[in-house]
Amino acid sequence: MGIDPWSTDLGLSLCSLVQDLTMTVLVAGGAGYIGSHFVRCLEEHGESAVVLDDLSTGFAEAIPDHVPLVRCAIGDRAAVRSVLEEVAPEAVVDFAGLIQVGESMRSPDRYYGVNVSQTIAFLDEIVRSGVKTFVFSSSAAVYGNPIRVPIDEDHPKEPINPYGATKLIVEMAARDYARAYGLRVACLRYFNAAGAHADGTLAERHDPETHLIPLAIDAGLGRRPELTVFGDDWSTPDGTCVRDYIHVMDLAEAHWLAIEKLRNDTPTLSLNLGTGNGYSVRQIIDAVSDVLGKAVPYHIGPRRDGDPPSLVASSNRARNVLGWNPTRSQLDTIVQDAVRSRT
Ligand code: UFG
């Protein structure tokens, strides 16, 4: 007897085939700014996410209701072990961690505790579970003060703040784990994540907010006092610090491409994620003023400890290796999306 293609049986098996083709990714720190945008990116690619987040800095509202949220720290080995067993994810992407340069100078113990000790415990559990694909949120802060700009991946790594040091330590551990345990690892070194999903439903949200673009927008909207510019006596064209701002959805897309690349058996990747264009703090203030149609009030304050004067990426490797093409990272698009998400 032939198979009736419309029978319930075949329908069900097609259903399970579709499910099998859907990849589940465990997203640690998925309730945070970049993590929640990555969850959205996964969904736009038709894949599934399970979020693991202790909500110490993230927000449950940033996760869609249908996405499971497991509230636990990455260093909670027992909880992480049972999540990994239950979910059996195809890949783990780790956005969990502390991210403030200034705070890391004042409280290095917290940074080494969360960003190193807890992250290594998390890595151990990942290896133990048999998951083979790991994507790690690293940072341009691993390079320290650039000796050449744009910064390529082979640039010396001499972090000048504990935040950057903790990221570099985990990169080294992850590469050693890759060699010894067959883990496939991508370390993605973000330059300055900025902007928001174009539909305005997700936003850059930190408490307290310390990042330039949201602070400038809020100052321009009169929601907070004037912005303090951290120094105008740096060795840069206008004296204020220069950064490479990359749209958060372009950043998210690079994680997706990295997973695909690792699944094709590439063992380790270290990639810069930036645009190659640097903007000074003054240029950002002007861009925000243009989009808002009103001046951003600011004054010049002292330098912030741990800030390098200029961080601009060479992103050729990510473009070549991943086929990555950041399409939303023009400064006006970043600022427009950021403003939309805050108004
Ligand atoms: N800045 C100000 N005033 C403020 C806030 C920031 O002048 O109130 C300046 C900073 O000194 C810096 C620039 O604006 O020159 C950007 O500062 P952010 O705090 O927005 O971002 P950072 O460059 O300090 O750090 C960010 C991420 C890090 C990452 C780094 C890589 O938070 O995780 O980008 O470039 F490592």
Q: What is the pLDDT confidence band of residue 10, given thresholds at 50, 70 and 90?
A: very low
Stretch 190-202: mean pLDDT: 96
If you measure from the C-alpha of residue 313 to the centroid of ligand 1, how many angstroms do you get, rounded to a whole number?
15
> Quick check: CB of 99 below 6 Å from ligand 1?
yes
Residues β-bridged to residue 27: 51, 93
Residues acting as catalytic residues: 163
- Which residue segments constitute the domains of the chain, with CATH numbers given? 2-194+246-274 (3.40.50.720)
If you measure from the C-alpha of residue 338 to the centroid of ligand 1, how many angstroms do you get, rounded to a whole number?
16
Place of tokens 């345990």: 181
Can you read off the two tokens belonging to residue 158?
């001499």
If you measure from the C-alpha of residue 106 to the centroid of ligand 1, how many angstroms do you get, rounded to a whole number?
16
Q: What is the pLDDT confidence band of residue 264, given thresholds at 50, 70 and 90?
A: confident
> Quick check: CB of 242 below 6 Å from ligand 1?
no
Can you read off the two tokens belonging to residue 286?
């002007």
Global confidence as pTM: 0.93
Q: What is the pLDDT of residue 206?
A: 85
Can you tell me which atom of ligand 1 is nearest the CA of 140? 31
Can you read off the two tokens belonging to residue 334?
């970043």
Q: What is the pLDDT of residue 207?
A: 84
Mind giving me the DSSP string for 234-289?
A: SSSTTSS-EE-EEEHHHHHHHHHHHHHHHHTT--EEEEEE--S--EEHHHHHHHHH
> Quick check: CB of 210 below 6 Å from ligand 1?
yes
Can you read off the two tokens belonging to residue 32?
């945070």
> Quick check: CB of 251 below 6 Å from ligand 1?
no
